[in-house]
Amino acid sequence: MWESVFTAAANSTSASTLTTVAAGNMSSFVIPFGGSALVGFLMGYALKKIIKWALIILGVFLGIILVIQYMTNNGYITGKILWDKMGNDIFGILPAFFLLLLIPSSPYSL
């Protein structure tokens, strides 16, 4: 590429010819480089978005599995879901939480 620029400069006596030849060769060098940079940027951006959503889906899936395991270990699920046991435990915890809201020195107070 540069050989043609130097050859044209050696054969030419005017500076404008050198500028024209150099600009022509430079644009043939810059356009593929710019296109490659753009394609690389777009591929990286797409890969970033794909990995982000894949990890979100994986996290939700693992979260569901952990909740099911917790419920199984605490006896809420034993072949069938024991709704009355779950309701009693939830409503047994809620009054204590609401009392915690009423204590003035509590970090959760209103």
Predicted pLDDT of residue 62: 96
CA 62-66-68 angle, 5° bins? 115
105: in domain: no
Number of folded domains that form the chain: 1
CA–CA distance, 106 with 57 (Å, rounded to integer): 37
Residues composing the chain: 110
Task: Establish if 8 belongs to a structural domain.
Answer: yes
Please choose, from the candidates 23, 1, 21, the residue with its C-alpha nearest in 3D space to the C-alpha of residue 11: 21
Answer whether 25's CB lies under 8 Å from 4's CB: yes
The answer to the question of residue 35 being in a domain is yes
Look at residue 100 and tell me if it is in a domain: no
Condensed to tens digits (0 to 9), the pLDDT of residues 88-106 reads 887 777 777 676 666 666 6
Structural domain harbouring 36: 2-54
Q: Decide if 36 is inside a domain.
A: yes
pLDDT single digits (tens) 4-33: 555 655 555 555 544 555 555 666 666 677
pTM of the model: 0.48
Residue 33 domain-assigned (yes or no): yes
